[in-house]
A and B are shown apart, each in its own frame.
Chain A
């Protein structure tokens, strides 16, 4: 056998082995949660991961995207379950038949933050008043507002607040900047530009914790009920997406709605502050409609004998 053929054979063998290593590796049991940047960037998912894995024996993976993008990824069947905060989209997802069950699991609250010293005088208990001050200052060139601009739940809430003030065509306003980024990146951008933005408390605390005073932002509005931010788990329709890991998705749902899961969420702190508040089965307490039907289904699933 001549050398060239031998070399060719050897190379072919190496390629085959490489392909084998690359593509035949065992990929184990896991569940992919499509979630928002706030749950991922705040560290909540990292915090829950070991508990969930110990409980269910399934690896917990998540893709952190804006809520809109998370829904889009799930609509293609590329995630097993959703954990997001955009009620309109969630309901649309379920009513279109892509999802089968939606339940609120916890909430956090949004805050309006702005440059140290609050040049726009936006400090207020009322989010509408605060946003109005920012817009006024913006028109006179004294303030900037940075929007997530990524179709996330945060972005959706922000647009609702502007709409309530009658402010539209935002992209054409000189003082309005669309970042097209996740929460942390948007906060850092606001800090650099000396701008106001709407943020979830969890991400803001986490970033404040890691960047300290290099994050030149302070809270100007908090505590307004319209700034409450409920997160839901949405189960996908397994007959529409037969390839998803449905059983593992249910495990995740049962875990996060269990007393243990709810307790973990409530105990999670960022820089010493609690940022997420469990609300499963008690949605009325923050002024949301009751979810008795969903709760009944989940509890039935739990007694059916799932791991959790």
Chain B
């Protein structure tokens, strides 16, 4: 069975149906990119996988276990999430990253080792002692990525991690994602930037108005799309 499996997931917020029966299988170790215009339900999809919210109907399986309100805290321990506009704690960069290891009860020297490795990955070792609230948007996003990677999750969820960032920061983050994926982590990257999907992903999925239109190998997705809407989306004809 797939590492993450969604079965006919529906979710409605007040008067608007955001997800209209979404099904998808995400394989262990793959880097899948979910693309689609703003408001198509990508963020909601990630939140449901992280157990921050729950579907109205349909099912979600993580590593073969059905996600419920009761087991969400337990399943989430293997999941790292990077929000679109991350919130950092009013503490040093180091402490922000070390936080989740502290309450996992790791010994101090192991914490230091892991935090340094995570900061290295996003090239922030120089700023370890800086107050996280003084960072630029790109640096803050990199700290958030390090914070999500440091406890060695099996699955990483990213919500538009490079929106509004300059190329230097985008390169560092993409590099870190490739590195994570090389370490057998499953990565779900939500983006509206199809070029980023093309650069990074093994597979690409198009979510449009709450419906999963198409999921394909990256190469096929861009060159031989099955659905005409995918064609229009990658050609930039789909106005959104």
Contacts and interface: CB of A to CB of B under 8 A. Distances in A.
Do any CB atoms of chain A lie under 8 A from CB atoms of chain B in the complex? yes
A4 B102 CA distance: 10
Contacts of B102: 2-3
Contacts of A2: 102-103, 105
Contacts of A4: 103
Chain B residues touching A, majority SS: loop
5 contacts: A2-B102, A2-B103, A2-B105, A3-B102, A4-B103
Interface residues of B, number: 3
Contacts, number: 5
Interface residues of A, number: 3
B4 to A, nearest CB: 30
A9 to B, nearest CB: 16
Nearest to A2: B103
Interface string B101-113: 0110100000000
Nearest to A1: B105
Among all A-B residue pairs, the 5 with the closest Cβ atoms: A2-B103, A2-B105, A3-B102, A2-B102, A4-B103
Nearest to A3: B102
Nearest to B103: A2
Contacts of A3: 102
Interface string B74-107: 0000000000000000000000000000110100
Interface in A146-202: none
A2 B99 CA distance: 11
A153 to B, nearest CB: 63
A7 to B, nearest CB: 12
Interface in A1-15: 2-4
Contacts of B105: 2
B20 to A, nearest CB: 42
A235 B220 CA distance: 103
A4 B103 CA distance: 9
A207 B24 CA distance: 91
A2 B102 CA distance: 7
A4 B104 CA distance: 12
Interface in B26-70: none
Nearest to B105: A2
A2 B103 CA distance: 6
A3 B101 CA distance: 12
Contacts of B103: 2, 4
A4 B60 CA distance: 33
B108 to A, nearest CB: 12
A271 B105 CA distance: 75
A57 B102 CA distance: 59
Interface in B213-232: none
